[in-house]
Structures are given as C-alpha cells and as structure tokens.
Amino acid sequence: MAFGALNKVRSVGLLAGSTSPIAIDFGIGSLKVLQIGIGEQNSLLAAACAEVPEAIQVDHIKRLEFQTDALIKFIKSGAFKGKRAMCAIPASQIFCKHLQFPKSDPDIVGQVQTTVPALLNCHPEALVYRHAVVNGVTGNCSTVKAEVICFAVPRELIRRVMDALRACKLEPVGIHPSALATMRGFDPITRREEDKNITSLYLDLGAGATTCLIAHGKEMVFAKTIHIGGRHLDEAAAAQLRCSLAWARQHRQNATELVPVDEAAAAPAPSAEFEEDGPGPLATIGSPSAKPQPPTGPPSPNTRMKLNLADQINSLTDEVSLCMHYHGTLFPGRRVDRVIFVGGEARSRLLCHLIAKKLRLSAQVADPLAPLARTGQEYCQDVDLKQPQPGWATALGLCLSPADL
C-alpha cells in the first residue's frame, strides 16, 4: 500500500444524497470522529470527541491504544453508519518539506521516493509517500525546476493505524496527511471564482505542532509543520507556575495575559480587518485596535492570571514569517491577505489575536461545523455545538476527501 500521488485517487461517498465515510482524526490532544450527509447543504449526522490524557499524549503507542478503545465505543453506539472509514495522520508525525526537482525528469514520484529517504537517512521501503506539485510558480528557477510539497509517513505507523481501524471492524478507504484534509474542509467556501484571488494563510494550532498552510483560493501552494503546539505552551506555563501540565493548561486557557503588556503593545497591529458577508464558518477576531479579550470559560480568580509565553509565541510567529517569506519567493508580488486559525488551540482568541498582531494580518477563527445543517437530534459526544469548534477542520475535510486505498 502507498499514499500515491494526489491526482491518483477514487472519489467515494461524495455524491449528493450520500453519507460520507466515517472521518477519524487521530490527533495528539484528542480523537475526533465525524460523519456528515452529502447534499445541496451538507448535514451533520454524528460527532464524537475523546480527549487524550496528558500523560500519554507523547507516547504514540499508548495514545493510539487509548484512541482505539474510544473509537470502538463510539462505533458501538450505532450513531455512525456503514463501515467505510477515512482517517488523518497527525502533523507532528509526518515529514513535510518543499523540494525542487528538474522539470526535465517527468518522474516526480521516483524523484520523491529517492530524495526523501536520503534526507531522513532511512530505507525507501520504511516510508509511504504523497506529493503535491505547486502550480503557477513564477519565482527564480521556475522555468527549469518544479516546486513539489513532499509528505512521508513511517510505514509502521500506517500499519498501526490500519490495525486500529480493523479492531473497530471498519474498512479503511483513505488515509490522508492532516494538512491535505484541512484544506479539503474549506472547499465549500473557497470554490467561488472570486476566491481564486485571495491568498489565505491557514494556521492549524494543534497540541503537538502547528501546521502552516498557504493557499491561493482552494489550491494549496505551501505547507510546513512547525513543531510548536499547545503542549509546548503548557510546558512553559507549568515551569513558570510550578504545577502539573493539566493545571498549567487550565491556567493558560483562562489567562488574561500571555505576553507582557509592553511587548504586546509594541507589536504592530493588522493593517485591515477582513469582513465576512454573513454568518458562516469564519468569524473575525475583532477590530485591530480592540484590546484582546480573555477566553470564555468559568470565571475563577485562581486561574485568571498573567503568564509570559512571549518566547514561545515569538518563536512560532518567526517560523510563520519565514514561511510567508518563502511563499513570496515562489510568487513575487503576491502577499498573504488573511490568516485563518483552525485546530484545538484556536479556541483561545487571545492566542490567535497575539499571533495575528505579530504577523500584521487580518484574522479569522474557523468554525468548520457551523455550515452543516442540523436537526438538534444528532449524536454528539463531548462536542459543544453552541461554541465555535475550530479543531474540527481536519475531520470535516476527511468527510469530503476522495478515497485513496
């Protein structure tokens, strides 16, 4: 089995009036399971979430065992229909890198499978691959070299995921890198002709890593995994507060300050605010001059405190700025218009505001489940649909992704 090239896939379960495969997002911080009905307006059928205990988040084997047990319970509930399953690999476990190959050699698959193992110093058979050719590049060397986004995953990890699905008596029909699934989740709102001229930066703020994606309309032209996520912020907070990671996370989510006021004030404000036409999957964070508000949650004087995570946030934004610079070398003169936040950590509007301010970009937080039609009777396990759910972009994208197995 191999990931294969992006253009060599079968569309399965995407016809109007059908039911999507069961989408399974094996994240570092949580397991998310989603199924939707496909139609003129897609509808929510079932959603379930299981938070991964802090103690096993970094243990890939124990985390997958926990998620498999939770998945079995969700499937036994009877809320999810059929046996076809589509799943995503966490960004922190995927090799993702831009490479340039001579256009004189049309065998890009062969070039990927030769170059990537050499970079990782491993046997070619130890990996499975996927790649995406970046179209429309106008920067230096674009006439003689092709820009290719390469993904690689350990074959052993794929085997463990397949075993987990079989343990749940599910039929795997697709395995996708989370970055590609996330982009697919935005297809319904980036397919308009006018959206082709919008350059969007998608920041998937996860527990284990942050995925930086840049797209022209619906076409992804840049992808990179930045190994800074919510867990790294929690570790810094725990060191400052001398407490457990669980308590540090609660403090961070309810903090009134993540960066000292003087440093936050010195950061340049976004130049403009992107206005949404109406209710939908994207919500503006607030006017650039507005003071960021602390996240909503149960008010507690013991958790509303100030933290200094400036080093971690600056490291993250510096990496994102380098990504934007590289995009500028591929497409001279084309600037990023906006940043859209997804991922579980995007629930912190304060964190998103600080990042957007450092990047000098208009910002929006995605709520991928918002456009789905609902009856109010859907099966929802540990999912609060009354609140924005930016962490469900990958799961929604899996529902809309083509089968590749």
Whether the CB-CB separation of 86 and 176 falls below 8 Å is answered with: yes
Q: How far apart, in Å, are the Cα atoms of 16 and each of 10, 85, 182, 184?
A: 16, 18, 21, 17
Residue 239 lies in a domain: yes
pLDDT tens digit sequence for 290-318: 444 444 443 344 556 789 999 999 999 99
Indicate if the pLDDT at residue 10 is higher than 70.
no
Are 376 and 361 members of one domain? no
Q: What is the pLDDT of residue 274?
A: 37
Tokens describing residue 236 = 């810094």
Tokens describing residue 352 = 């998103």
Whether the CB-CB separation of 149 and 224 falls below 8 Å is answered with: no
Burial class (CB in 10 A: 0-12, 13-18, 19+), 85: buried
Tokens describing residue 246 = 């669980």
Are 265 and 134 members of one domain? no
Dump strand ranges (E) for 235-287: 282-284
Report which DSSP code applies to 58.
T
Residue 213 lies in a domain: no
Cα 310 to its chain centre, rounded Å, is: 23
Give residue 299's domain range. 230-365
Angle made by CA atoms 139, 214, 86, in degrees to the nearest 5: 130
Region of poorest pLDDT, from 14-28, 45-59, 314-328, 360-374: 14-28
Are 153 and 240 members of one domain? no
Cα–Cα distance for residue pair 393/178, rounded to 1 Å: 9
Residue 211 lies in a domain: no
Are 247 and 385 members of one domain? no
pTM for this prediction: 0.87
pLDDT tens digit sequence for 241-261: 999 988 999 889 888 899 886
Helices (H), 345-392: 349-359
Dump strand ranges (E) for 125-183: 127-133, 145-154, 171-177
Are 170 and 277 members of one domain? no
User: Using only C-alpha atoms, what is the Rg of the chain?
Assistant: 21
Q: What is the pLDDT of residue 9?
A: 37
Are 81 and 134 members of one domain? yes
Mean pLDDT of 320-332: 97
Share of the chain above pLDDT 70, in %: 84
CATH label of the domain that carries residue 133: 3.30.420.380
Helix-helix angle 349-359:310-330, to 10 degrees: 50
Are 173 and 279 members of one domain? no
Residue 172 lies in a domain: yes
Tokens describing residue 348 = 């912190």
Whether the CB-CB separation of 125 and 155 falls below 8 Å is answered with: yes
Are 146 and 35 members of one domain? yes
Tokens describing residue 237 = 């907070």
In this structure, which amino acid lies at residue 36?
I
Cα–Cα distance for residue pair 9/41, rounded to 1 Å: 24
Tell me if residue 360 falls in helix, strand or coil: coil
Residue 148 lies in a domain: yes
Q: What is the pLDDT of residue 269?
A: 53
Residue 345 lies in a domain: yes
Indicate if the pLDDT at residue 98 is higher than 70.
yes
pLDDT tens digit sequence for 265-287: 555 555 444 334 344 677 766 43
Residue 225 lies in a domain: no
Cα–Cα distance for residue pair 232/168, rounded to 1 Å: 32
Are 267 and 351 members of one domain? yes
Q: What is the pLDDT of residue 143?
A: 87
Are 246 and 381 members of one domain? no
Cα–Cα distance for residue pair 204/212, rounded to 1 Å: 7
Are 274 and 356 members of one domain? yes
Q: What is the pLDDT of residue 306?
A: 86
pLDDT band for position 262 (50/70/90)? Answer: low
More confident residue, 295 or 185: 185
| φ/ψ (deg, to 5) at 285 | -75, -35
How many domains does one find in the chain? 2
